[in-house]
Amino acid sequence: METITNFKSKANNLLAMMFTIFASVITFAQDAEGVVTKENKTTTTTTTEWYTDPMYLIGGGVLLIIIIALIARSGKK
């Protein structure tokens, strides 16, 4: 009986050691130092025409109103 218990103890120690070594190998295999990765990046540039920008339309409208107001005011003299 003592031999079987001794064998089980040795087998458990061997399995624990094998699991520890396996976990260690997996851990060190995931080390990313020195790994060169190549990434392909594509950049796109979008352009818009000046007349599609709402700020130019608003600015042009305000300028047109100011010009019309100045012309109408100068006509009264």
SS3 state of residue 28: helix
As a whole number of angstroms, the distance between CA 45 and CA 43 comes to: 7
Mean predicted confidence (pLDDT) in 1-19 = 87
As a whole number of angstroms, the distance between CA 31 and CA 5 comes to: 40
pLDDT digit string, tens, across residues 15-68: 999 988 888 888 776 656 666 778 888 888 888 787 788 898 899 999 999 999
As given in the structure block, the two tokens for residue 13 are 């120690």
Q: What pLDDT sits at residue 76?
A: 66
Q: What pLDDT sits at residue 77?
A: 58
Q: What pLDDT sits at residue 33?
A: 64
The answer to whether 50 and 56 have CB atoms below 8 angstroms apart is yes
| Tally of CA atoms within 13 A in the half-sphere of 59 that contains its CB | 7
pTM for this prediction: 0.37
As a whole number of angstroms, the distance between CA 19 and CA 46 comes to: 56
